[in-house]
Structure 1
Amino acid sequence: MSLPSEAMLARQTAARMHDFGVLPEDAVHVQLPAGIAKPRLPGLVVHHSVLPVEPVLVEGLPCVPAARCAVDLARTLRRLDALPVLDAALRSGAVCRDDLIEEALTHRGLPGVRQARALVPLADGRSECRQESQLRLVLIDGGLPAPEPQVWVLSRDGTGRYRLDLGYRERRVGIEYDGLSHLDRDRLRYDRDRANWLDAEGWTMRYFTDRDLYRRPAHIVAMVRATLS
């Protein structure tokens, strides 16, 4: 009620409406056509649109379409945050890869579009959390082959036993991100049983934390490269 009629939800806010909001964000992001004055309201971030766009209604609210939202974020966020958005957009089913490729082409000449176009081929809807996507990107940017997300390790009877965050199936190397949930006592017991079983089946596991991911990514690359070698 406080915004111009042309306003539509955009960026991180629209991503949440489209079910691929993986980045923490308290502000409300909206988009307006160029030339319309930005309203000044607490907690509101206004973006002017250079490209024309028709809004879509999500739960009765006008939003930037999903593909446009994903590409806008992919070209304006830092690289480490952009890939998780694209992964989540594919996982949500709101877009497919062709939608992202086509949308990125319409952004030709805009700031950050080269980053978005480079990341779209790397996006994978199998990734299930932001840190998993970021860990995969660290390995790719470190010159390693792209690991497969959500690798099922099968029991000898052919049933799925455990699922790994990332893996190199042929080399039997698994990579996991350990967040706060792994500090729970019951989870710790489960993780130990799982690690012992994987070791017995010939898998070499490497585990990384937020400290590794955000403060020493080169350590991650070196560890995985040595393991694959």
Structure 2
Amino acid sequence: MRELTVGRLRARLDREELLRVRRGVYADQPCGDDDELHALMLRLPDGAMLARQSAARRYGFGVLREDLVHIQLPATVPKPRLPGLVVHRTVLPVRPVLVRGLPCVPAAHCAVDLARAVRRIDALPVLDAALRSGVVSQDDLLGEVSAHAALRGVRQARSLISIADGRAECRQESQLRLILIDGGLPPPEPQLWVTDRCGVRLYRLDLGYRERQVGIEYDGLSHLDRDRLRYDRERVNWLDAAGWRMRYFTDRDLYRRPHHITATIRAALTQPTP
């Protein structure tokens, strides 16, 4: 990207040799998401860096919707007025990290910021995904949250870091686990492998209690596929014959009746083991 005189710019736009990416920024070929963000950074003051959902996506743990671009600026820098932009202020010293050429808040800082700011049911999936991505460790998160000690939401972030688990494979699995923990039940094991009598791994459960042989599954849209349905029925029959009590939940349970989930699993745990 480079500067042009107004006349040359208009001529190239008329000939469709240039495309407008953002006001004052043009490119000679179609742009992807990262290219558009590079263009945006050219319009922002020094010290601006991607934050919250926008940074999380670049790090590989973007499990929350990113409808707008989130940036972070020092408290002393004037707020830019650009469409589609959410500006977050920071009172903590932050050194940006380049991710695909884009300045981002450090990964642990990003994860803790989100864990402080979003709903509890959405915060644990962020922390689980951050651990799963491998860009942060539990120690990184604990060290970062201590620097946020006086900031709003830090108690929520600290409590969730203690139960965060990188084995969770999707947002709904994390939310299901949190509902059970908040309901007073022991933390279930994520991605629990069930083996045959020879110790060969056969089936992996979303969540489960190995000693009580209680398995928990979240059924999303992928389970509506015909081939997946056949596999699921074969698996259910084998697990039932092996003494596992399987319980299944959907988005309706997760978001509309979490108490039903807790009551169902509590009842299953109190039943005698076959």
Q: Same fold (TM over 0.5)?
A: yes
1:31 and 2:45 matched: no
1:149-197: CA deviations, max 9, x gaps? 0000002221110000000000000000000111111111111111001
1:153 and 2:194 matched: yes
For the residues of structure 2 that align with 1:185 and 1:26, how far apart are their CA atoms? 33
The offset of 1:35, in angstroms, is 2.0
1:20 and 2:25 matched: no
Structure 2: which amino acid aligns with 1:31?
Answer: Q
Moved segments of 4+, more than 4 Å: none
1:181 and 2:222 matched: yes
Gaps of 5+ in 2: 1-41
**1:122 aligned counterpart, secondary structure:** coil
Q: 1:46 aligns with which of 82, 87, 98?
A: 87
Please, what is the CA RMSD of the aligned residues? Answer: 0.7
Correspondence for 1:90: 131
Give the count of matched residue pairs: 229
Structure 2: which amino acid aligns with 1:184?
Answer: D
1:106 and 2:147 matched: yes
The offset of 1:49, in angstroms, is 0.8
Q: 2:117 aligns with which of 68, 76, 83?
A: 76
**1:165 aligned counterpart, secondary structure:** strand
1:10-47: CA deviations, max 9, x gaps? 00010011111111222111000002122122211110
Correspondence for 2:232: 191
Structure 1: which amino acid aligns with 2:152?
Answer: P
Structure 2: which amino acid aligns with 1:165?
Answer: D
Structure 2: which amino acid aligns with 1:125?
Answer: G
TM-score, normalised by the number of residues in structure 1 = 0.99
Gaps of 5+ in 1: none
For the residues of structure 1 that align with 2:92 and 2:174, how far apart are their CA atoms? 29
Structure number with bigger Rg: 2
Q: 2:206 aligns with which of 139, 145, 165?
A: 165
1:120-131 superposed matches below 5 A: 120-131=161-172
TM-score, normalised by the number of residues in structure 2 = 0.83
Deviates more, 1:55-64 or 1:34-43: 34-43
Q: 2:243 aligns with which of 197, 202, 215?
A: 202
For the residues of structure 2 that align with 1:146 and 1:134, how far apart are their CA atoms? 12
Bigger relative contact order (CA 8 A; separation at least 6)? 1
Structure 2: which amino acid aligns with 1:120?
Answer: I
